[in-house]
């Protein structure tokens, strides 16, 4: 009897350990910054604001070549922009004060969020582009960013 009680006790304790609650998943890196700094314009659901702030969901620039996205993020964007079927005439602030790693997290976040599905942005590629354009002080125009040479990463083969 004693042994049986002991056995049940050990069994219950073992099952108790097994049933520990599953860990709460951490939010993806970059999400907190997006919510704090980008969502005021582009919105938490990535839908933007019609004719004022372009949506980042299902967006060709966000999911396109990451060289172009990095340039835009480092120095900002200003000028008439055709995004989807709408025209925008605003400005996106530059984010070059952020570290390569933080910026990589944010850009990777928007490339994977809201059904977007593009490869992650490597921090090393941000480093290369930052170095290459270290003397640049003006924002990019949508026209400039369209040029094929502004989609690749200088010095990185295969892009
Ligand atoms: C103050 C408002 C504002 C904030 C904050 C802002 N943006 Fe923008 N963003 C804009 C506007 C306006 C445009 C369109 C610029 C134009 O008309 O040339 C834009 C354009 C863009 C585009 C290009 C979209 C396209 O269709 O080509 C991307 C990508 C982008 N923003 C990403 C971001 C990210 C990432 C953040 C946060 C780190 C951010 N933006 C923060 C206003 C903002």
Tens-place pLDDT, residues 17-36 = 556 677 888 999 999 999 99
Distance (angstroms) between ligand 1 centre and the Cα of 60 equals: 13
pLDDT at 4: 63
pLDDT at 54: 98
Q: What is the CATH number of domain 27-147?
A: 1.10.760.10
Res 98 pLDDT > 70: yes
Res 107 pLDDT > 90: yes
Question: What are the boundaries of each domain within the chain?
Answer: 27-147
The pTM assigned to this predicted structure is 0.88
Res 77 pLDDT > 60: yes
Q: What is the mean pLDDT of residues 38-56?
A: 98
**Angle subtended at Cα 73 by Cα 29 and Cα 159, rounded to the nearest 5 degrees:** 90
pLDDT at 24: 87
Atom 5, ligand 1: which residue's CA is nearest?
A: 38
Q: Which atom of ligand 1 is nearest to the CA of 40?
A: 5
Which is more confident, 134 or 155? 134
Q: What is the mean pLDDT of residues 56-67?
A: 97
pLDDT at 10: 53
The burial of 130, by beta-carbon neighbours within 10 Å (0-12 exposed, 13-18 middle, 19 or more buried), is given as middle
Residue 83 has φ and ψ, to the nearest 5°, of -125, 120
């Amino acid at each position: 009897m004693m042994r049986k009680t002991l056995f049940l006790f050990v069994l219950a304790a073992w099952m108790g350990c097994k049933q520990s609650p599953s860990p709460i998943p951490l939010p993806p890196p970059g999400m907190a910054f997006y919510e704090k700094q980008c969502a005021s314009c582009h919105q938490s659901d990535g839908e933007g604001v019609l004719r004022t702030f372009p949506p980042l969901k299902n967006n060709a620039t966000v999911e396109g070549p990451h060289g172009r996205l990095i340039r835009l993020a480092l120095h900002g964007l200003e000028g008439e922009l055709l995004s989807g079927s709408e025209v925008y005439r605003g400005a996106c602030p530059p984010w070059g004060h952020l570290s390569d790693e933080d910026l990589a997290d944010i850009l990777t976040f928007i490339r994977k969020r809201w059904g977007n599905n593009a490869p992650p942005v490597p921090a090393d590629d941000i480093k290369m582009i930052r170095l290459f354009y270290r003397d640049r002080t003006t924002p990019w125009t949508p026209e400039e960013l369209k040029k094929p040479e502004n989609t690749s990463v200088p010095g990185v083969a295969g892009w």
